[in-house]
């Protein structure tokens, strides 16, 4: 074995754009293709809009205009505009920016000076235009390289900054912006900046009442137990109510940043609610009973926030400012005081909250014995070997897990030995896990959570995901339903969707649930192979191959070899996120899909089931509906 030389020639320094392009995960988390809300292309949007928001917070500009055309993003604010002599530096030199001057940006989203530089470096095309006091200047880049640096010219445009970028397709493979994710992102900006008007592709996002509007949009008036409690001060705002759903549902923010993984402020928010309720009722209720079915939102503004990752999704433990209390103490005490006072002044709310707490208490005690036995069964079942083929990231308890690792974790829920076997052999064992169902899961429509502990399959599934008490400690960022592309597969998919919507709706609301798209056909000749996800794709593939190609119809996941499957759950994975429309009534959604046999539901299944012949479609759908009918309690 030859000796490896280690000399001065082996040492080299990367310039700013090289380092970002080689290690993009350090700056924007995971890359992805746009199917996940935390994929990199949405972080790029966020980094640009954050600068616009900072201008608004400082009192400059009341509108932001955003356009998306063929994958190219255009974001224009009406703030002060970047100082014209520093336009190029602000988007291409690390540690350059106005946010280091705390007088100008006291409570900014981020202070790392990387934001738009990362967008620039990771875009195949990037343009910045600054307009300031009757003058304008622009600069254009390609993959971070400056290709056009204009002179300063006179301009009649309003002050502000325009950024246009197109993500680099060599980094973001087959990316696709999903407007649902972008719109949700923009609604959050609107709620946290009451009075700001954001326009996106002609649609306006505006909030007058901040987090009150957020909770009103996230809930249905018929499903909440009392009017939303909304309180705000200079550096804190919160809103809470209770519903009838299972679990806890929170939306937390720091300096306008959606902290999807919570942190110190969210822990303090929950703590304050518990303290306030116990103080008012003068009774030591269990924490779970007070917080069960809660829907809450909290926003704080702090100086120089410390996040636990570059993507700023979890707040660390810090002070509110010099000589100020910690975030935890400040938030907890504020919430406790305001909640207790509100209950004193609103006896109807106090009565409704008490009934909700007492109901949760009864439900908890009712399933306590069953829950204990179910947990014991889960341990005896040797979960990690029989039902769950875990990923190494979780099996290695000694390894320190960073946010990027967690964001890349996926669990596939499948049915049958052949399907789970193919995925298990093809998966990335470091970050991908497989949970194997035995037969069709129970139809949970209309049942209580007691059934989850009585049913072994569902109990083991919730343990595998670690969502028994909510999604705060969810073990996998992406929960993927992987079923065959036939009637049985569609049925299993509906049953699993029912399970999650009935008992863990926040898993869906927070964008963790997906459907795996697998090819229906393989079209190949001796030289080339096409995998097709629809009849149209099959026909296009046939046209591209001359002669009579071999056509294979995949009827089940088990028919796809592990070597082929590796591509479908690897770099070229196609996932369809499960969306729940804002304000949707879960009971009505479940009733539509899993209730009594209706022509409307048959029509929906016919239009969404991928099989070869329409005649077969209608017969299979009718058979499936009859089978669903028999399962309804």
Read off the pLDDT of residues 264-277 as tens digits, 9 standing for 90 and up: 889 999 999 999 99
Q: Which pLDDT does position 96 carry in this prediction?
A: 52
Q: Which pLDDT does position 307 carry in this prediction?
A: 56
Asked whether residue 317 carries a pLDDT value surpassing 60, the answer given is no
Q: Which pLDDT does position 273 carry in this prediction?
A: 97
Percent pLDDT > 70 in the chain is 82
Question: Smallest Cα–Cα separation from 206: which of 216, 221, 191?
Answer: 191
- Each domain of the chain, given as residue ranges in start order, spans 16-206, 211-365, 382-518+556-595, 519-553
**In contact, 147 and 141? CB cutoff 8 Å:** yes
Asked whether residue 316 carries a pLDDT value surpassing 50, the answer given is yes
User: In this structure, which topology does domain 211-365 adopt according to CATH?
Assistant: Ribosomal Protein S5; domain 2 (3.30.230)
CATH 3.30.70.1350 is held by the domain 382-518+556-595: no
Tokens linked to 165:
């970028």
Q: Which pLDDT does position 112 carry in this prediction?
A: 43
Asked whether residue 463 carries a pLDDT value surpassing 80, the answer given is yes
Q: Which pLDDT does position 382 carry in this prediction?
A: 56
Please tell me the least confidently modeled range out of 1-10, 136-145, 217-226. Answer: 1-10
**Mean per-residue pLDDT for 1-16?**
55
pLDDT in tens, 531-589: 888 889 999 999 888 788 999 988 788 788 888 888 888 878 888 898 877 666 777 77
Percent pLDDT > 90 in the chain is 37
**Mean per-residue pLDDT for 195-204?**
94
The three-state secondary structure class of 579 is coil
Asked whether residue 304 carries a pLDDT value surpassing 90, the answer given is no
Write down the H helix ranges in 58-204: 87-92, 115-121, 179-192
Asked whether residue 206 carries a pLDDT value surpassing 50, the answer given is yes
Distance CA(261)–CA(312), nearest Å, equals 9
pLDDT in tens, 345-381: 999 999 999 999 999 999 888 888 888 888 777 776 6
Identify the band that residue 102 occupies on the pLDDT scale cut at 50, 70 and 90: very low
**In contact, 261 and 314? CB cutoff 8 Å:** yes
Please tell me the least confidently modeled range out of 93-107, 212-226, 488-502. Answer: 93-107
Q: Which pLDDT does position 439 carry in this prediction?
A: 80
Rg (CA), the chain: 26
Please tell me the least confidently modeled range out of 168-182, 391-405, 509-523. Answer: 391-405
167 exposure class (CB count in 10 Å sphere: 0-12, 13-18, 19+): buried
Q: Which pLDDT does position 616 carry in this prediction?
A: 38
Q: Tell me whether strands 294-300 and 236-242 are parallel, antiparallel or unpaired.
A: antiparallel
**Mean per-residue pLDDT for 111-132?**
84
Residues 6 or more apart whose Cβ sits within 8 Å of residue 507:
467, 471, 474, 479, 500, 513
The number of CA neighbours under 13 Å toward the Cβ of 76 is: 14
Class of domain 16-206: alpha beta
Specify the higher pLDDT residue, 128 or 421: 128
Asked whether residue 633 carries a pLDDT value surpassing 50, the answer given is no
**Mean per-residue pLDDT for 14-30?**
80
Tell if the pTM clears 0.75, that is, is over it.
yes
Specify the higher pLDDT residue, 534 or 126: 126
Identical fold at 16-206 and 382-518+556-595? no
């Amino acid at each position: 074995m030859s000796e490896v030389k280690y000399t001065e020639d082996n040492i080299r320094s990367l310039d700013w754009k090289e380092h970002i392009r080689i290690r993009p995960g350090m700056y924007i988390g995971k890359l992805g293709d746009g199917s996940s809300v935390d994929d990199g292309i949405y972080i790029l949007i966020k980094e640009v809009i954050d600068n616009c928001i900072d201008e608004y917070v400082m009192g400059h500009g009341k509108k932001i205009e955003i356009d998306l055309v063929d994958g190219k993003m255009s974001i224009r604010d009406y703030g002060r505009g970047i100082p014209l002599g520093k336009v190029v530096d602000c988007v291409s030199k690390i540690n350059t920016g106005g946010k280091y001057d705390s007088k100008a940006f006291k409570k900014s989203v981020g202070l790392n000076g990387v934001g738009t530089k990362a967008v620039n470096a990771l875009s195949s095309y990037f343009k910045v235009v600054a307009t300031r006091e009757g003058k304008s200047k622009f600069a254009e880049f390609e993959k971070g390289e400056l290709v056009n640096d204009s002179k300063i010219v006179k301009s009649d445009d309003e002050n502000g900054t325009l950024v246009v970028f197109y993500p680099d397709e060599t980094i973001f493979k087959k990316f696709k912006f999903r407007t649902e994710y972008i719109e949700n992102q923009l609604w959050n900006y609107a709620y946290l900046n009451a009075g700001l008007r954001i326009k996106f592709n002609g649609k306006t996002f505006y909030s007058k009442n901040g987090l009150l509007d957020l909770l009103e949009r996230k809930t249905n008036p018929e499903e909440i137990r009392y009017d939303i409690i909304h309180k705000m001060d200079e550096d804190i705002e919160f809103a809470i109510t209770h519903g009838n759903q299972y679990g806890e549902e929170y939306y937390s923010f720091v300096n306008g940043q959606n902290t999807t993984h919570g942190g110190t402020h969210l822990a303090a928010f929950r703590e304050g609610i518990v303290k306030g309720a116990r103080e008012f009722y003068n009774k030591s209720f269990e924490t779970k009973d007070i917080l069960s079915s809660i829907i809450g939102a909290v926003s704080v503004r702090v100086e120089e926030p410390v996040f636990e990752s570059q993507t700023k999704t979890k707040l660390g433990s810090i002070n509110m400012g010099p000589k100020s209390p910690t975030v935890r103490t400040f938030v907890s005490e504020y919430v406790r005081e305001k909640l207790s006072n509100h209950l004193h002044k609103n006896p109807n709310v106090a009565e409704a909250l008490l009934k909700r707490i007492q109901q949760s208490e009864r439900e908890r005690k009712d399933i306590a014995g069953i829950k204990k036995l179910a947990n014991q069964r889960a341990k005896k079942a040797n979960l990690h070997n029989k039902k769950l083929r875990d990923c190494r990231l979780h099996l290695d308890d000694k390894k320190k897990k960073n946010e990027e690792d967690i964001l890349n974790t996926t669990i596939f829920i499948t049915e049958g030995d052949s399907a789970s076997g193919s995925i298990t052999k093809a998966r990335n064992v470091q970050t991908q896990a497989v949970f194997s169902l035995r037969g069709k899961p129970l139809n949970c429509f209309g049942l209580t959570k007691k059934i989850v502990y009585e049913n072994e399959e569902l109990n083991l599934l919730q343990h595998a995901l670690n969502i028994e008490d909510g999604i705060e400690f969810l073990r996998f960022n992406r929960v993927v339903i992987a079923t065959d592309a036939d009637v049985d597969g569609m049925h299993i998919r509906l049953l699993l969707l029912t399970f999650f919507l009935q008992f863990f709706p926040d898993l869906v609301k927070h964008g963790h649930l997906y459907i795996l798209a697998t090819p229906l056909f393989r079209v190949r000749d001796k030289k080339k192979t096409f995998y097709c996800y629809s009849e149209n794709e099959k026909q296009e593939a046939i046209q591209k191959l001359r002669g009579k190609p071999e056509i294979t119809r995949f009827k089940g996941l088990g028919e796809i070899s592990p070597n082929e499957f590796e591509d479908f759950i690897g770099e070229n994975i196609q996932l369809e996120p499960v969306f729940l429309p804002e304000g949707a009534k879960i009971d009505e959604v479940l009733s539509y899909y899993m209730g009594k046999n209706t022509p409307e539901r048959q029509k929906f299944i016919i239009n969404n089931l991928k099989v070869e012949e329409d005649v077969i479609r209608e017969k299979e759908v009718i058979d499936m509906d009859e089978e669903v009918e028999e399962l309804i309690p």
